[in-house]
Structure formats: C-alpha cells, structure tokens
Chains A and B, each alone.
Chain A
C-alpha cells in the first residue's frame, strides 16, 4: 500500500512540474502571438526601421547569422573532425574538447565584450564584421561539440571496413564517415544557426544597430534582436508595438528552424 501511495505522489509531483514547465512556454507563445498579432502587418515587412518597419533588421539579422555560419561551420566541423578522427584521446584533443565545452557555456555578453575590445575599438567604431565574428565565436564550440558527438555515433566497424578496402584515412573520413553522420551534422548546423540568430548580447556593442537598409558590414549594422532591445525601452506605443512584433517574428523563426531539424531528423532515424 505504501509503495502504491509513494508512486502516486511521485507521479503527481512530476506531472505538475512538467505542466509548470510547459505552461510558461505556452504563456510566452500566447502573449507573443496576441501582442504580435495586433502589431504585425505588411507595412513591417516592406519598410525599414526608420519608417517603423522591420525589413532591414530582419534581413540584417539573417546576413549576420548567415556569414557567421559560413565562417563558424567549416572551422567548427574541421575541429570536430580533428577531435574525433585524429586526436581521439590524445592529451591535446582532451584539452581542446574541454575548452570548447567551457566556451559553449561562456556568457554571450562576455564574447561581445571580447570582440568589442578586439574588433570594435581598434577599428574606430561599431561595425557589422565585429557582429559576425562575435556570432561565429559563439557558434564554433556548438558545432565542434555536435560534430564530435555525431561522429562518435558512427560505428568503428564502418571506418575499419573502409580501411580494409584500401581507402586512406582521409578518404574514409570524407566519403564514408561524414556521409554516415550527415543528418546529425546538418541538424547540428541548424541548431547552431537557430542559437545565434536569436542572440542580442554579442551584437549589442559590436554591430550595434542601423535604421536603414545596408549591405555595408564595415559600418553599424541593423539586426532584429538589438532593435527589439532598443524599441522596447523607447517610451512610445509605436516602438513598443514594433518590439512585440519583432519578438513574435523572432520566436516563430527560431521555432520554425527547430521544427525543421526535428522533421529532417525523424523519418530516417528508424532505419
């Protein structure tokens, strides 16, 4: 009888905890949807921040995160490949792996400050490239870690089978191991992208913000997240509505990317 009672108590408590977790998520989504719904109209997507639209900042955010991905993914993947395929358990690899894990949990504002010191101050002002670099730095350890763990899931026999057919180590890695881990690697890239596209702190004092549409990364550069930050603090109803709209768009975007990763990861997993 006691065991049954204990069982019921534990089930009730854990169910409540689960409900609590999900209710906050729903609360956020509902609030964002309601506030966002009232503020989002076509005007937002067709005009720039200077005219109370979000076009330039949304595109700017994508450009910043996109270039960061182009820099961060190759570096992160190569490092991950080194860790799993070449270094494996060598001392150097262990150190790199641990440092990369530490980097992953480094507060993003710290990375922002670092890049401010290295790429903003010496170049005489806020610029888009500094934002790109901050996001890339944030992204690299995530890609390193997912690459490392996805490659570790590839059975060792597969590597041996490639070697046994007369392939060199490099051929085995690039033709067999990477393609066996392909789906996991793509997922890792998308998740890393989703992570950096919602970042504010690393951009706040690197690329700062810009009211106008711009491709010039050597000047202050528009981004959605920094805009939300400024708009929300600005004491005018229009700005605050725009901040809500931006938040809703950003949330939907991140949600969408996460759903895509689920979608590509699932159907082939069973085989």
Chain B
C-alpha cells in the first residue's frame, strides 16, 4: 500500500508551554484511504492534523521535533515538511495538502470567486480553464446542481452545509494530494453531515483524507484506519474495524465504549 504521509517521532510544543502537546507520534497515513483521529478533547488530535500543513506557523513560537514525511503521488520519494523554511515552500505545501475547518469558512465574495481564489493563487489565469475547474470542483463537492444558477451570488447566502461543501470544493479545485478535515461536521445538522460524509467517502478515489472527529460513529462509518490519541500520545492505531471491535489497549476500549472522554 502506498503511503501519503508518515510521521516519525513527531513532537510538537506550543509557545510558552513546557510540556510537549504531542510526544513522539509515529503514524502512517495511507494514500487513497480515510484515516480518522479520535480521542477526548485536548488529546492533541487537532494539533497533529494542523501540523500536516504547517498551519501552526501562522502563530509564532511553536516548536516541531522529529519528522513528517510527505510522499509524492507514487508513494516513493518523500520530503520532510518540517524542514520547509521559506514562505514559498509552505505555500506549495498548502496547495498539496488542503484543509477543511470545523466552522464553514466561505470568503466574503461570490461562490465562483471562492473557488477561483485558490486557483488564481496557483497561477491559473485562463478564464475558460478557471470556469471549467470551478464546475468540476463544484460537481465534485455535490454542490453544482444547487448553485449553478447563482455562481455570482455571495457565498455568505448559502446554508451551513452548502458553505462547508463549498469549502471542500474550494480545496478540491487545487487537486491536492491530501485533505485534512478538522471536525468538519460538528457545526452542521444531520442531513448536511450525511452529505459531507458521503462526499468524503467519494473523495478518497482521488486523494488521501485525514479527519479529526469527536463523533465515533462517524469515524467508524467513513474511515479505513483509525488512530486513538490520549494526552499527546498515539495510544493505538489500526484498521478501523479492529479498533472498534477488537481494541488491544484498555484505554481505547474504555474510550470507544464511552466510559470516559
């Protein structure tokens, strides 16, 4: 199986804290699979996710340790993304690894401009190509039918679920290798949640998904692999079925059966 990302003894410390938030994490993220990170609040799962596109770097003073290897499309050559120093390298990284946030984050512009914003940043100027890629992205996020007649309307007028799908379309438009989802459905109603989950399952044909979720049913429904994290450690990682049906660690079992967390 091809690897997309692999962390090696990865530790992370927030500024002005003595103790590391993540301690020596080793986790493989396989290409074209959905990997879920679960665990109680404060276990570090979001911190790990946010390390993968170095979004932490928006705030100064964090320290990374160890390696996060990002593989090319063939799963052969890998680069340690923690070595990137220049803004240009980080910009390239973020175009390869997209991110979806907990709250939908449409930009205050039209639906079309939301999609073309990232494309223009990546250097596409041709108008027909921009429009084509917009259509493909919106279709890919199952939003095209709902918005095709109002592409020039403000994205702020969409419902929460539509906004979240727009954000996914916006990220998918850049054809990233990996998409990071940070609790993408926790602000949405059940119907929107179902459509996002369906979308994630379809997306893995084209890219790799890493998702943080509080909702264990969600993890079991959509993921192929699951990692259980607790207090900055990766307690257990395995095929999702094994984690939920046959966990090896007592902690994991306690968490998924709802005894704590």
Seen from chain A, the residues whose Cβ lies within 8 Å of a Cβ on chain B are 155, 157-169, 171, 175-176, 179-180, 182, 271
Of the four ranges (under 10, 10 to 19, 20 to 34, 35 or more), the interface on chain B belongs to 20 to 34
B204 at the interface (CB under 8 A from A): no
Cα(A165)–Cα(B122), bound, Å: 9
B152 at the interface (CB under 8 A from A): no
B239 at the interface (CB under 8 A from A): no
Cα(A180)–Cα(B106), bound, Å: 10
Cα(A155)–Cα(B104), bound, Å: 11
- Which residue on chain B has the smallest CB distance to residue A163? B58
Consensus secondary structure, chain B interface = helix
Other contacts beyond A165-B170, A167-B91, A180-B108: 15, CB < 8 A: A157-B102, A159-B58, A160-B55, A161-B101, A161-B107, A161-B167, A164-B94, A165-B117, A165-B118, A166-B92, A166-B94, A166-B121, A167-B121, A175-B117, A179-B109
Contact A160 B101, beta carbon cutoff 8 Å = yes
Instruction: State how many angstroms separate the Cβ of A270 from the closest Cβ of chain B.
Output: 11
Cross-interface CB contact of B107 among A158, A160, A163, A182, cutoff 8 Å: A158
Contact B94 A165, beta carbon cutoff 8 Å = yes
B138 at the interface (CB under 8 A from A): no
Interface string of B103-133 (1 = CB under 8 A from A): 1010111000000011001100000000000
Contact A166 B95, beta carbon cutoff 8 Å = yes
- Which residue on chain A has the smallest CB distance to residue B154? A271
Interface string of B38-64 (1 = CB under 8 A from A): 000000000000000101001000000
Kindly list chain B residues whose C-beta atoms are within 8 Å of the C-beta of A165. Answer: 94-95, 98, 117-118, 121, 170-171, 174
Q: What number of A-B contacts does a CB cutoff of 8 Å give?
A: 67
Contact A164 B157, beta carbon cutoff 8 Å = no
Q: List 15 A-B contacts (CB under 8 A).
A: A155-B103, A157-B102, A157-B105, A159-B58, A160-B55, A160-B105, A161-B99, A162-B107, A164-B94, A164-B101, A165-B170, A166-B91, A166-B94, A167-B121, A175-B107
- Which residue on chain B has the smallest CB distance to residue A182? B108
Cα(A167)–Cα(B171), bound, Å: 12
Cα(A176)–Cα(B101), bound, Å: 16
Cα(A179)–Cα(B91), bound, Å: 22
Instruction: State how many angstroms separate the Cβ of A219 from the closest Cβ of chain B.
Output: 46
B156 at the interface (CB under 8 A from A): yes
Kindly list chain A residues whose C-beta atoms are within 8 Å of the C-beta of B101. Answer: 157, 160-161, 164
Instruction: State how many angstroms separate the Cβ of B163 from the closest Cβ of chain A.
Output: 11
B145 at the interface (CB under 8 A from A): no
9 smallest CB-CB distances across A and B, nearest first, come from: A161-B105, A164-B99, A165-B118, A166-B95, A166-B94, A180-B108, A166-B91, A157-B105, A157-B101
- Which residue on chain B has the smallest CB distance to residue A176? B107
Instruction: State how many angstroms separate the Cβ of A178 from the closest Cβ of chain B.
Output: 10
List residues 139-178 of chain B with CB under 8 A from any CB of chain A: 156-157, 167, 170-171, 174
Seen from chain B, the residues whose Cβ lies within 8 Å of a Cβ on chain A are 53, 55, 58, 87, 91-92, 94-95, 98-99, 101-103, 105, 107-109, 117-118, 121-122, 156-157, 167, 170-171, 174
Kindly list chain B residues whose C-beta atoms are within 8 Å of the C-beta of A162. Answer: 107
Kindly list chain A residues whose C-beta atoms are within 8 Å of the C-beta of B102. Answer: 157
Instruction: State how many angstroms separate the Cβ of B18 from the closest Cβ of chain A.
Output: 20
Cα(A158)–Cα(B102), bound, Å: 11
Kindly list chain B residues whose C-beta atoms are within 8 Å of the C-beta of A171. Answer: 121
Cα(A160)–Cα(B94), bound, Å: 11
Instruction: State how many angstroms separate the Cβ of A35 from the closest Cβ of chain B.
Output: 46
Instruction: State how many angstroms separate the Cβ of B140 from the closest Cβ of chain A.
Output: 16
Kindly list chain A residues whose C-beta atoms are within 8 Å of the C-beta of B99. Answer: 160-161, 164
Instruction: State how many angstroms separate the Cβ of B206 from the closest Cβ of chain A.
Output: 18
Instruction: State how many angstroms separate the Cβ of B181 from the closest Cβ of chain A.
Output: 12
Cα(A115)–Cα(B108), bound, Å: 41
Cα(A164)–Cα(B102), bound, Å: 14
Instruction: State how many angstroms separate the Cβ of B183 from the closest Cβ of chain A.
Output: 12
Cα(A161)–Cα(B157), bound, Å: 18
Cα(A180)–Cα(B156), bound, Å: 10
- Which residue on chain B has the smallest CB distance to residue A90? B60
Cα(A169)–Cα(B94), bound, Å: 13
Kindly list chain A residues whose C-beta atoms are within 8 Å of the C-beta of B121. Answer: 165-167, 171
